[in-house]
Amino acid sequence: INDFGSIDILVNNAGIWKHSPIDKMTLEKWNETININLTGTYLFTKYVVPEMKAKKGGRIINIASTAGQRGEAEYSHYASSKGGVIAFTKSLATELGKYNINVNCVAPGWVLTDMTQHIFDNEEERKKELSIIPLGRVAMPEDIAGPVLFLASGLANHITGEILNVNGGSVLCG
């Protein structure tokens, strides 16, 4: 705020995704995932909202996951954290709308990043995941940036509390 004068747009995009079947998951791994994916979203939002209220407007865009809508075997901690982000988004949209603060969420499916590269380096795993994506390809980070930019823009002035799925259609097939 000291450098830029105000915060107009907050994108909560920090996240971790680590394999852990429930019977092998430690409380530390659960807490780490919840703390980064959900509590981090809460903390950044908590400290930005007063600025947005004072200037009578703003945009908050949270990054969740399709896993937060449908669950994900052996990643229950991740799915729980992203489901929490979705509920947090909807709750804040109802709370902050009267301040002209739009709160929305983008829920990607598979995105090729450093975090997921190991899945797609395995030919068998890659074929399995691509088979449930109607568009036939894994998203690139740029595929997520466009919808975030849209929600941050004036084109989305009357959109709040929405979960924008960006997954190549995979939620339709799995």
Residue predicted with more confidence, 11 or 119:
11
Residue 3 lies in a domain: no
Q: Where are the beta strands (DSSP E) in 18-100?
A: 58-63
**Across all residues in the chain, what is the average pLDDT?**
93
CATH of the domain at 123: 3.40.50.720
Domain that holds residue 15: 9-169
Q: Are 29 and 45 in contact (CB under 8 A)?
A: no
**Catalytic: 78?**
yes
- For 31-46, how does the pLDDT look when each residue is reduced to its tens digit (9 = 90+)? 999 999 999 999 999 9
Q: What is the mean pLDDT of residues 17-35?
A: 95
Q: What is the pTM of this model?
A: 0.92
List the catalytic residue out of 42, 47, 78, 99.
Answer: 78
Residue 89 lies in a domain: yes
**Lowest-pLDDT range of 31-40, 132-141, 145-154:** 132-141
The residues facing 133 across adjacent strands are: none
Residue 2 lies in a domain: no
* Residue type for position 62: N
Tally of structural domains, the chain = 1
